[in-house]
Amino acid sequence: MEIEEFTLNFNYRSSSKIIDYYQCFKVFDSNIIPKGHNKEYPSVVRYNKDINSERIVDEIASKVVASVDDHNISPDQICIIAPQWFYLASITRKLASKLPMYKFNGPGLSPIARDVENFWYKLSRIALTDPSPQMYMRRMRWAKEILEELSECGVCLDEINERKFLRCCNTLNIMHANGLEYLQDFFDKALSACNIDIAECQYLLHKNEYFFESSKLRIERLQKENIEGADSIEYFKSFFDANKGINVSTIHGVKGGEYDVVIAFGLLDGMVPHFTEKEKDLSSKKLLYVIGSRARKYLYLYSETGRKRKFGFYSPTEVLKKTHYEYN
């Protein structure tokens, strides 16, 4: 059988300028041709390797504000990228404090730990989402997981199924403005309404104690970072809304996404590529290609100075530093 090889050459997402730039990092011999309505957009591609890490939050914040105010970019079309979650959590909290007018979808902001194995986190997903046709199947799946765990713990369910359980939850009227008080009241009333008694289940009681203690610590940290209303039920519920805010992600997490504005920082040797990589240049190119190809109109890259490592300080990613390109 004869096999003929084809390649996908057309890009309907990005401007010609963005495409020309990220082709600097391609690892396969293919030519990418701009075809979409953004083809002639007057894009901006900037690279800054002189800014200090202490100023990176202010710099990113200024780019966010300029994108929205000057370029009419919707906040949900802005993505902030770093190579590691460690840096993203801290940056996201600082940005949320500096820019309270915007919602951020990123790590470090949730008032409750995203512990998908904790029974009370599973129940909180139902407590913090409203019944709707769009959420029906998801909430049914969550209810099934909750009842299965209760059954595994030996709790008597009196033939209650996920549909009945959801119906009980949907009829509850909880009036607390404080998020943790709301959840505690919801948990008590939901189990009581379904005649579910966990008084003898030490495992679930221990998990309940851990859930609330860890949540209190997270809220205290958010309040220290001047995150407004971190203990409110509105803030709690916002984390289960559809993503409408500024996206914050790692390089690997952003694969498949596309945004009008991409802001990437932490482009440092030892992070991009990771210090354990053997083929450093190849790995760097792949990561930089992912970053560049996510952008439609604006691309801002940072290799900030002053980040300490085990011996000395991080330096810019070699492949990026050696790339000859006429930046804006």
Q: Full-prediction pTM beyond 0.85?
A: no
Report pLDDT for 276. 86
Kindly state the average pLDDT of the residues 179-207.
Answer: 94
Mean pLDDT of 38-48: 96
pLDDT above 80 for 147:
yes
Neighbours of 284 (CB within 10 A): 21
Helices 119-127, 136-152: axis angle to 10 degrees equals 150
What pLDDT digit, counting tens, does each position of 211-234 carry?
999 999 999 999 998 888 899 999
pLDDT of residue 170 exceeding 70, the answer is yes
pLDDT for the residue numbered 274: 86
Residue with the larger pLDDT of the pair 169 and 113:
169
Closest C-alpha among 193, 119, 126 to residue 153: 119
- The residues, any chain, with a CB within 8 Å of residue 19's CB and separated by 6 or more, are 11, 32, 34
The beta-strand segments (E) located in 146-222 are none
The mean-pLDDT minimum among 222-226, 284-288, 297-301, 316-320 falls in: 222-226
The string of pLDDT tens digits covering residues 74-118 is 999 999 999 988 888 889 989 999 998 998 988 888 899 888 889
pLDDT, average across residues 297-301: 98
Phi-psi map region of 312: left, alpha, beta (phi>0 left; psi -120 to 50 alpha)? left
pLDDT at 241: 74
End-to-end CA gap in the chain? 50
What whole-number distance in Å separates Cα of residue 160 and Cα of residue 141?
A: 15
**Are the CB atoms for 284 and 22 separated by under 8 Å?**
no
Residue 2's pLDDT band, with cuts at 50, 70 and 90, is very high
User: What per-residue confidence (pLDDT) applies to 87?
Assistant: 81
d(CA 303, CA 306): 10
Q: What are phi and psi of 32, to 5 degrees?
A: -95, 125
pLDDT at 28: 84
10-89+244-322 belongs to which homologous superfamily?
Answer: P-loop containing nucleotide triphosphate hydrolases (3.40.50.300)
Q: Domain residue spans in the chain?
A: 10-89+244-322, 119-238
Do 240 and 179 form a contact (C-beta atoms < 8 A)? no
Count of Cβ atoms closer than 10 Å to residue 243 Cβ? 9
pLDDT, averaged across the chain: 92
Strands 78-82 and 246-250: parallel
